[in-house]
Structure 1
Amino acid sequence: MKYQHNFNPTISDEDIFSEIVKEKEYIGYYNLVFQDTLEYKEYAKSVKQKNIVVIGIGGSTLGTYAIYKFLKYSKNLTKKLYFLETTDPIDIKSKLENIDLNDTLFIVISKSGTTIETISIFKYINSLITCDRDNTLVITENDSKLNEYAKANKIKSFEIPKNVGGRFSVFSAVGLVPLAIVGIDIDEILHGAKKRHDSFFTQGKTYARIVKKARFFIEYKNSFNINVVFSYSSRLEGFNKWYIQLWGESLGKVDINSSRQGLTPIGIIGPIDQHSFLQLIVEGRRDKTVTVIKVDDFYNHLKIPNIELTGLSELNYVDDIEFSLLINKQADATIESINNLKDIPCDVITIDSVSERSIAGLMYEYELLTSVCAKFMYINAYDQPGVEAGKIILKQKLQTKS
């Protein structure tokens, strides 16, 4: 008897791992943890300007912003990092009004080199100040139009490898160069990411955690289609934004059977959203998983003072408690209240500290999780045809001025 089929049964963990190992040969983000950072650090030392303005959008800025936002209040940074990433004229004008443009390095980042938002903002900057080799850096693909511009104007450039997608590019020059310039330890960043890489590819704890989580997400995607990241630190606001792009643009796809797939990412901040979105989680439809992210050590000992407020003595039990303890107890209370319901899938990630290693490890793990989910879903995590269609329409509308 001969038999042929095109069925796609649930893929095994072993097959998933094998597929990821194969993919590692041609998808570049996996191996960024092994790169030599010397050229980035040498360039960073040469930058004299106090203000660093990154001009980009999406994957060109979100990852860098996530790390900078997480670390900047715990570091003695001598330079300030700004991001111009929207064509909102009020945002552009208000940000530039507060920056000394004569003491600014402009970093123009676009993988394709023709991102309309990025080039439009860069054109405006050029109307305000002369952008040249002394105050401009370009980060792009080697064969892009933007790199041609850099060469023609003798402007320094760093390469974005072709096999590294924009939303997976935070550990390339896209993120490492701006972060090195402002004084963040990029070797520690790569060390944190590499630790997750090694644990996954030796099939250690990271592998077990990611594969189990990804399998649950996909096998129960029709029941729990919304994935909520509940980050208990305002420092993780940038991470939430980065996660939303990574998850949405990577997993919202049509699979090999022409079925529409996708998991909806939501990023919220505790304890702020305990007073809003938590109500929807607890008493709303059972269509959401929840991942709570905590920070174990904030490196901050700010306390609630022991003072008497007339009429509020019943809350004196919070006196002398550190705010870091309070926010973690709030997280624990939320976790326990969700778990007590027994019908909301919930997991908890605890970051050791506010450090380069911790945030990089978290972000690399989410990149791996995204890739594994895509394999379970039989989709390509690395393209974005839905976004490209909008870009084509926009170009046509602008060219016809209609």
Structure 2
Amino acid sequence: MIRLDDTHVRPFLDDYSSSDLPEAIQTAHATVQRGDGPGSDFLGWRTLAESPNEDLISEIETHAERLHSDADALLCLGIGGSYLGAKAVIDALTPYFPAGDNDTPDVYFAGHQTSGAYLKQLLAHLDGQSVFVNVISKSGTTLETALAFRIVRQWMEERFDDADDRIIATTSPEGGALNALREDHAYTRYVIPPDVGGRFSVLTPVGLLPIAAAGIDIRALMNGASEMHDHVNGTTPNASLQYAALRYALLHAGYDVEVLATFEPSLASIGGWWQQLFGESEGKDGKGLFPASVEYTTDLHSLGQYMQDGQRIVMETFLMAEDAGEDLTVPTSEADLDGLNYVADRPMRAVTQGAYEGTAQAHTDGGVPNCTLWLDDISPRSVGALIYFFEHAVAVSGYALGVNPFNQPGVEDYKREMYQRLGR
């Protein structure tokens, strides 16, 4: 399912063995399994994978079929975990350039920043299309999302007589602004499980509805997560725990930054979701690796210099796929004026592989420990497995560091200061 290659980490850690997990990791893993650590009332993401809700999945599939037939566009409003997971999965599993006659709606995201220009141009682009809206927020009062929804709600009501039937609210089971609005507008509602935090919510209706609307097989996605759940909870050591252990060991060896590097553009948004998952889960009490994501080979021509020769505080995790899907073969040129015949008749994937291998070795030689996570392919099953892989790893990492991996008190500080300045 997911294979961890730690070849380029071993030279940096004395007495390191991937089969001998540190006691802190073993203890943290047991805490997650027992469900009795700090924040344990937010372990519902484990239950989702262990026992997928078949009725809910069927309901979402049926709703997605309606969107396939009636919608040109689905506009999702949310911030943080309310959009990053869905965007990551959709970007990974849909074509880079969808055909104009696509049978599924185009999925757009808003409510994740406060740019009036972005929202104005997006609505102008959507004007004249059959638009449905999915607003996603537990409280319904998160400023960025609530502002966008007020504007979008008015825009929808001005254009569609059945605007209320086109709006879907994904929110808490009770209370909050969206549930209050539903009393007047009877929006379709999906419930965010109270025991699942935002950054862990991609396998709830938060992510599953937009993902299904985009034409992705959510059953295969859930099956991959379930297989990974069974694997990480039944086999010790396993790749998820080894990854957590490796990060833990490198942090204590003085490496304070982790860079997640992808070579396939479709996986780049996985980096954005991973960045939030690990940043909000570990970054507390002056602890945790700082997570950042890059896209190679593009960023090798910018951040590559720092990675090779900058401060030696960085570890690197490559996210690769054994089978990345469609490919092209480099043509032969008789004149060879561009000097590229040395790669002629090879697939572009061979060039990517060479770039990956060369980067891993060069960064190792430059003092950057790096590991590689290998997916079987880029498919719903593999992406579902990867989601659970990272969720379990970060829960274990947080407990091993001595923090609650399921809260985010620092995020509330910026909100308090912002609201004060806006006069709330």
The one-letter code of the counterpart of 1:43 is H
The one-letter code of the counterpart of 1:373 is S
Unpaired stretches in structure 2, ≥5 consecutive residues: 1-21
Residue of 9, 19, 23 corresponding to 2:31: 19
Q: Out of 155-164 and 299-308, give the one that drifted further.
A: 299-308
Equivalent residue, structure 1, for 2:268: 237
Corresponding residue SS for 1:152: helix
1:152-301 aligned at under 5 Å gives the runs 152-204=184-236, 207-222=237-252, 223-254=254-285, 260-301=286-327
Shift of 1:41: 1.2
State yes or no: 1:124 paired with 2:145. no
TM-score (norm 2): 0.85
TM-score (norm 1): 0.89
Q: How many residues align?
A: 382
Corresponding residue SS for 2:118: helix
Asked if structure 1 preserves the Cα contact closer than 8 Å seen for 2:297 and 2:355, the reply is: yes
The one-letter code of the counterpart of 2:215 is G
Distance 1:399 1:338 in 2: 49
Q: Out of 190-199 and 91-100, give the one that drifted further.
A: 91-100
Cα 1:335–1:31 change in 2 (3 A) is same
Asked if structure 1 preserves the Cα contact closer than 8 Å seen for 2:165 and 2:188, the reply is: no
Residue of 385, 389, 392 corresponding to 1:361: 385
The one-letter code of the counterpart of 2:371 is D
| C-alpha distance after superposition, 1:310-337 (max 9, x if no partner) | 642x321122222222212211221222
Equivalent residue, structure 1, for 2:402: 378
Shift of 1:282: 2.1
Q: Out of 243-252 and 281-290, give the one that drifted further.
A: 281-290
Shift of 1:187: 0.3
Q: Out of 42-51 and 124-133, give the one that drifted further.
A: 124-133
Cα 1:77–1:338 change in 2 (3 A) is farther
Cα 1:149–1:309 change in 2 (3 A) is farther
Distance 1:389 1:12 in 2: 30
The one-letter code of the counterpart of 2:82 is S
The one-letter code of the counterpart of 1:289 is M
Which structure is higher in RCO with an 8 Å CA cutoff and minimum separation 6? Answer: 2
Unpaired stretches in structure 1, ≥5 consecutive residues: 1-9, 255-259
Asked if structure 2 preserves the Cα contact closer than 8 Å seen for 1:188 and 1:357, the reply is: yes
Distance 1:291 1:232 in 2: 11
Cα 1:127–1:267 change in 2 (3 A) is same
Shift of 1:23: 2.1
Q: CA RMSD in A?
A: 2.1
Asked if structure 2 preserves the Cα contact closer than 8 Å seen for 1:63 and 1:170, the reply is: yes
Asked if structure 1 preserves the Cα contact closer than 8 Å seen for 2:259 and 2:293, the reply is: yes
Q: Out of 319-328 and 385-394, give the one that drifted further.
A: 319-328
Distance 1:216 1:270 in 2: 22
Distance 1:192 1:396 in 2: 44
Shift of 1:219: 3.7
Asked if structure 1 preserves the Cα contact closer than 8 Å seen for 2:169 and 2:187, the reply is: yes
Distance 1:380 1:308 in 2: 62
Shift of 1:77: 5.2
Residue of 79, 85, 92 corresponding to 2:119: 92
Asked if structure 2 preserves the Cα contact closer than 8 Å seen for 1:300 and 1:324, the reply is: no
| C-alpha distance after superposition, 1:223-271 (max 9, x if no partner) | 00100111111111211111111111111112xxxxx212101100111
State yes or no: 1:32 paired with 2:44. no
Shift of 1:102: 4.6
Cα 1:41–1:346 change in 2 (3 A) is same
Corresponding residue SS for 1:73: coil
Distance 1:121 1:371 in 2: 32
Corresponding residue SS for 1:221: helix
Corresponding residue SS for 1:380: coil
- The sequence identity of aligned pairs, in percent, is 28
Shift of 1:369: 1.1
Distance 1:195 1:279 in 2: 39
1:68-107 aligned at under 5 Å gives the runs 68-73=90-95, 78-84=104-110, 85-100=112-127, 102-107=129-134
Equivalent residue, structure 2, for 1:5: none
Equivalent residue, structure 1, for 2:328: 302
Equivalent residue, structure 1, for 2:170: 139
